[in-house]
Amino acid sequence: TAGEQDFGERPETLAAVDRAIHACRRCPIGELDNHAVMGEGPADAALMIVGEQPGDQEDLSGKPFVGPAGQLLDTHLQRAGIDRGAAYVTNTVKHFKYVMRGKRRLHQSPTAKEIDICRWWIESERALVKPKLVLALGASAARGMLGKTVSISRARGTPHPLEDGSELWITAHPSYLLRLEGDAQQEQTRLFEADLAAVRERLA
Ligand code: URA
């Protein structure tokens, strides 16, 4: 697949992926003072939700989407009638990438190269879970799923067929909504809600 690096045999279980990501040093992010965060949810989930990378709180707790972006995601999933507990929730990049600002760890976006290296893990998870639908949150997740960079505004609102017959849906990242204000926030929230509603409909 485009963009993906081949590291040989795929792990045969999610537990093996979990062990392997903790040991992964294929890119420099794994060398930082952080912990890999494994996906969470049923191993046979119909929906896989893919974020960018763990943030500070996810790194500390070891669970995906527990911080501010995760809380906003939970709110919108609930409104859309999508049960987060029934979904497999994971990230494109497995380790938190940051720079220190005083005592705070500030989020840094992964590079396309780092995403492409980490794609091996997300594709291993997807091959094991075999979701019917994948919801990619933001540009990093979209790249992780497609192996190329796409524009969210052009890619959203329509399914992208994946090679195994499943469907990829692309929307904005909830932390993008958190950074906006006023009319822009309202407009982007409306689009985000419409994307979740479309996914909800395809799941039913
Ligand atoms: N943002 C993400 O993309 N993933 C998380 O797990 C948390 C915040």
Question: What is the ipTM metric for this complex?
Answer: 0.94
Q: Is 2 contained in some domain?
A: no
Q: What's 168's domain CATH number?
A: 3.40.470.10
Residue 8's pLDDT is what?
84
Going from the Cα of 93 to the center of ligand 1, the distance in angstroms, rounded, reads 9
Going from the Cα of 204 to the center of ligand 1, the distance in angstroms, rounded, reads 26
CB under 8 Å to 97, separation ≥6 — which residues?
A: 29, 32, 53, 107, 108, 109, 110, 114
CA distance 80 to 111: 31
Q: Is 7 contained in some domain?
A: no
Q: Is 175 contained in some domain?
A: yes
Task: Work out how many domains the chain is built from and give that number.
Answer: 1
Q: Is 86 contained in some domain?
A: yes
Nearest atom in ligand 1 to 37's CA:
6
CB count in 10 Å sphere of residue 63: 17
Q: Is 42 contained in some domain?
A: yes
CA distance 197 to 52: 21
Q: Is 55 contained in some domain?
A: yes
- Asked whether 49 and 137 are in contact (CB, 8 A), the reply is yes
Per-residue pLDDT of 104-150, as tens digits, reads: 999 999 999 999 999 999 999 999 999 999 999 999 999 999 999 99
Domain housing 149: 14-203
Q: Is 187 contained in some domain?
A: yes
Q: Is 5 contained in some domain?
A: no
Mutate to test the pocket of ligand 1, among 21, 35, 52 (most ligand atoms within 8 A of CB): 52
CB count in 10 Å sphere of residue 128: 18
